[in-house]
Structure 1
C-alpha cells in the first residue's frame, strides 16, 4: 500500500485519521507514489491551536532574530536545491530546468523576507496638527493561511509563508493535494533552520479543509492561488469572518504579434531560433501551459498571421512530452 502523506502540527509530523484520500501520481510514469489525506475541520482546529500557542512568543521575537532564522533557512534551501527540484519533477512532472526555476523564484522571496527589518518600518509625520505627531506602526495580524495550486509547488507557497512569518505571524499552509511532498520538504527545512514549533503548520486535503480555513474565526488573513471559480468561492467564504483575503484566479493571456516581428523566410531550426517565435512557444508551452501567465490566444496582425501559423505548426509537430531525466 502506498504511503499516506503526513501533516505538520507544531513540530510533529502525524498521519491524520481520514477516510478520503487523493492519489499522488508521478506524471512521467502514471505511477501512484502516495496518498494525500483529506483533512477537515478537526485537523484545521488542531493546527490553529498550535499556531495560536506559538504566536505570542514569535510575534514578540525581535526582528533581527526572526531574520537569522530566515537566513539559515535560505542557506538550507540552497544546499538542498537539487533535491527540491527533483521532488517537483517527480510529483509535478516539470522538466528539471523548469523545476529549478520554480525553486529559485521561491528562494528569492525568502531572500526578500530576510530583510524584515526594512519591511517592518513604520511612518512618522511630525506636527500633523499643533502639538500632534502622526505615527503608523506595523504589527503582525496573527494566524495566516495559504492555499496553493499544483503548478508551482515551491514558488507559490513561498510567495506566502516566508513573508508572513518574517513579520511575526504564524502560518497554516494547505498545498495542492496533487503535490504534497514539495511543501512538506520546505517545511522540514524551515524547522531545521530553527523555526519554533507551531509557527508553520501544514495540512493537506481538498474542499473540506479549504472551507475550514476560510471560515475559522481565529485565522486573520488568507491567501489563495488557483482557478477563478474557486478564487471567487474562497473570497466569499473568507469575507464571512472578516478575514483579509487575496484570491488570485486564472487568466486568459493574449499574445499580439505585429508583421515586422516575424521573418517570413524562416522555417525549421532557423524559425525556432527566432526571438519572436521562441517567445510565443515558450509562453504557450512552457510548464506544459500549466501557468497563469501562459499565452493561450495568439493574434497575428496582417502577414504575421500566416507566417506564424506555418512556423508554429512545423515546430509543434516535433514537440513531445518527456520525463525529468532530460535536462530541458
Structure 2
C-alpha cells in the first residue's frame, strides 16, 4: 500500500496500478475475467495451484512462484565469521517472511562445531517494532502466522529433534499482543515436519551431513527448487555444487542467491509453475504479446491472370 501511495504521489495516472484486498473473491475474478490476459503469482502451493489451473483453463498466460525450502551448505573450509554472519542475516531478516529466506542449513563435517557460534549470533538480534531502525527481527504478519510457526517449532521436539534456540514467548515492550517470534534454531532430520514444511518465519533448521555428496543429496531430494547456497573457499567444491545441485538459483558464498534484475529469475522443481521468469528479459517477454507483420509491395500488376495455389514466395 505504501508503494501504491508513492506511485500515486509520483504522478502515475489513476487506473494504471490497482491494489485490491481480499481472498477468494478477487482471485476468482482475476482467473475468470476475460479482459485479464496474464497472471503472475507469488505465494503458497495451494493458492498457486488453483490460480495456475483455473487461469490456464480460461486461456490466460500464468506464472506462479510457489513454496520454497531454500538450503545452504556450510563447508568446514569456509570463512567462519563471514559465513555465520551471512547465514544469520539470511535466515532471520524480514522475520523469515520472504520466499528466498534461508530456511535450512546443511552443516558438513567439522562445520558442525560452529553451530554454537551461530546460536550466539542469533541470540544477539533485536526483536521489535518493524518501524524501529534498531529492530532486526520484526513481527509475523498475523496471529495465525505466529500460531502456525510456534506449532511447527514444537513438532521438532515432539518428533525427536532439538531446539537449540527457542524464540517462542518473546516479549516486546509496548506490544503485549504483538505477533512476535524470536530467532529460532532447530536441529532436525529430513523426515520431520519442521523440515518438510515451509515455515515462513524466523526459524532456521539445521540438518547434519557427513560429506558434500550427502549434503547435495539432501537438497536434491527436496521437492522445492527455488534457491541453494554454499559457503566454501574451494573452487573445485563450489564448481561441483554449482553443477550438481537441483536448484534454479545458486549462491556461492552468497546466502540469498537472488540474481540481479538484468538476469532472469530461475527457480525450478516444485517452486514454480508456468516456466516463465518473474523478471529479466524473459520476464518482460511474459507480459508481451508478439505480433509479426509480413508485407509485400509491387510496383506492377501480375503478368498473368491465372491464379496459383502454390505457397507465395518472393525473391
Structure 2 length-normalised TM: 0.40
* Higher alpha-carbon Rg: 2
Greater relative contact order: 1 or 2 (C-alpha under 8 angstroms, separation 6 or more)? 1
**Structure with the larger helix share:** 1
Structure 1 length-normalised TM: 0.38
